[in-house]
Amino acid sequence: MKKDIIQRYDEMGGRIYEERYREEQQEKYRWANKFLEECQLTADIGCGTGLFQKTRGGGFVVGVDASAALLEWARQANQVGLLVRGDAEQLPLREGVFQVVTCFTVLQNLEDPEVGLEEMARVTRPGGVLVVSWLKKRFQLSEVVKHIKSTDLKMLELCEDNNLKDWITLLSKSCKNS
């Protein structure tokens, strides 16, 4: 885990994070939620202040993040209940449990984004889906495709909206991968 990055998020805190990023993140969730059904057991990796969980009613979404300050904001200000402090490259979650795994604007922070992607694939149930967004400033589209190809995940949809700062990918985990 990159401790300096987490420290930066801790120092920023939930209020400033949301003032800066809430609006642009909401656009990404809108695209993702078109593909997701209500009540699917979901893990949101790098959940930050729990903004995505709030769009899903919160009840079926477990959030994982490394920043204690952002998790605290999620709990106190956003009343999100299901939160775990942990590292996206070593998820404290069991294998093959989640119907949906989401990850918005987090992979640019990891030492090895492929490890993060593998971890997300591991905790996804066979036949489940993932929504993963990739900061364009950090990842060219060809790199996104390469990272996905390095896993057993399959790309179902790609959001290339020029107004968004991320590529957003909808991925599936094959039923055969148990």
Ligand X SMILES: C[S@@+](CC[C@H](N)C(=O)[O-])C[C@H]1O[C@@H](n2cnc3c(N)ncnc32)[C@H](O)[C@@H]1O
Q: What residue ranges bind ligand X (CB under 6 A)?
A: 1, 5-6, 9, 21, 25, 46-48, 51-52, 65-67, 70, 87-89, 104-106, 109-110
CB of 105 to ligand X, least distance (A): 4
Q: Which is nearer to ligand X, 9 or 98 (CB)?
A: 9
Q: Are 102 and 133 in contact (CB under 8 A)?
A: no
For residue 92, the minimal CB distance to ligand X (Å) is: 10
Angle, CA 88 vertex, CA 82 and CA 94 arms, to 5°: 60
Looking at the Cβ atoms of 138 and 174, the one nearer to ligand X is: 138
Based on CB atoms, which residue is closest to ligand X, 93 or 129? Answer: 93
Reported in sequence order, the residue ranges of the chain that DSSP labels E, i.e. its strands, are 42-45, 61-65, 83-85, 98-103, 124-135, 154-159, 166-172
CB of 176 to ligand X, least distance (A): 28
CB of 178 to ligand X, least distance (A): 25
Alpha-carbon distances of 108 from 37, 45, 60, 116, rounded to whole Å: 27, 13, 26, 10
